[in-house]
Amino acid sequence: MLTTGFASIDKIISKDEIVEFYSSSNVLIPFYHRVIALSAPVFVVIVSERGGLDPYLIKRFQHVFSTHGEVYLRRAFKPEDVPPTIESMNGHDLIIIDPYHHRKNYNEIISSIRKLKIGTKKFIFSFMDREKEGSIFGLHSTHSLIKIEREKGGFRFIIKKSITTKEMEIPSSIWNLYGKIEESEGLVKWL
């Protein structure tokens, strides 16, 4: 079961199959490592030539959250490798890191994500500014679209698209990203 560990976000996306988190900020990197650690055992597809995943950071998060599980990893190096790599993980909840990395083959990538078994969750993490580049591809396929924006002392989740709620912002301290959260949800529970 895929989870972010942020109760308010998990509640909003609980019924969604395809959720995309995007940011042009580096806060996305520790966030998806956290999600992988909390969701393990989990299947992950990384689209990049090198890097993208720090196994020591995942282990650190697993230690902090007392979770243990395997991370099954596949990497797509070239744009034409992305769709078959995604399709090869069919039947499992899946985390896809930077599927639009090459800025090519958008239709094929979206199609491969949509072909995955109904009932499985897919979390997509994109390093792009959807307002500047590619604001339309994939939007018809995602159930929720969440922007993560860095700000002084923390970051905020901006719900851009959701089937369960209107557009809203959920602020968080950067320290919440790296540790267990005792979240009372505050005003978010009333929205």
Which residues make Cβ contacts (< 8 Å) with residue 16, sequence separation at least 6? 121, 143, 144, 162, 163, 164
Q: pLDDT tens digits for the chain (191 residues)?
A: 899 999 999 999 999 999 999 998 889 999 999 999 999 999 999 998 777 899 999 999 999 999 989 999 999 988 899 999 999 998 899 999 998 888 788 888 888 988 888 889 999 999 887 666 655 556 677 889 999 999 988 999 999 988 888 899 999 988 888 886 555 555 455 44
Class of CATH domain 7-190: alpha beta
So what's the pLDDT on residue 10?
A: 95
So what's the pLDDT on residue 59?
A: 95
> Alpha-carbon distance 117 to 166, whole Å?
27
So what's the pLDDT on residue 191?
A: 47
Which residues make Cβ contacts (< 8 Å) with residue 118, sequence separation at least 6? 17
> Alpha-carbon distance 3 to 40, whole Å?
10
Instruction: List the domain boundaries for the chain.
Output: 7-190
So what's the pLDDT on residue 180?
A: 60
> Alpha-carbon distance 50 to 60, whole Å?
21
So what's the pLDDT on residue 46?
A: 94
What 3-state DSSP class applies to 31?
helix
So what's the pLDDT on residue 187?
A: 47
